[in-house]
Amino acid sequence: CDFETDLCKALHELNLQPGWIRRNGQSGMGPPYSDYNGNGRAYFLSLSSEMKSSSATLRTNVFLPNDEEQVCQITFHYWISQMSGTLIVGLQKHSEDTITNIWQDSGELRNQWKTNTITINSTKKYEV
């Protein structure tokens, strides 16, 4: 998923809550001025500077359960600016109402792209 033409198959347009925008480094909105590969024309998702609420959420489509022989890994690149708080990845199993936080970063190293890979084991259908 690279956001070059749309929001990818993993993210529903309907799940894009207010505040999230698809942009590139040449949009004139401030840093980052390129994607994680240094491409200023490449697109990524960003929180709008007009975002006034305390949080915004992205939800994936539903992933099928995995077993001992299958592993689901999600790799993502992220940027935390001076203005940001905490980026949290949560897991919601379809058999549960609660979202379990499985990773977070408060941005000790700010204003640079970072990469993370999360391994998910779930015997139930789930969303991230």
The domain segmentation of the chain, as residue ranges, is 1-54, 62-127
Tokens of 105: 């970063």
Question: Judging by DSSP bridges, how do beta strands 20-24 and 43-47 pair with one another?
Answer: antiparallel
Q: Is pLDDT above 60 for 103?
A: yes
Q: Is pLDDT above 80 for 51?
A: no
What confidence tier does 61 reach under pLDDT thresholds 50, 70, 90? confident
**What is the average pLDDT score of the chain?**
81
Tokens of 38: 């240094």
Backbone angles phi, psi at 102, to 5 degrees: -115, -5
Which residue spans within 35-79 are E strands per DSSP? 43-47, 72-79
Question: Which whole-number Å values give the CA distances from 2 to 37, 52, 75, 83, in the listed order?
Answer: 11, 26, 12, 24
Q: Is pLDDT above 70 for 90?
A: yes
Mean pLDDT of 56-66: 84
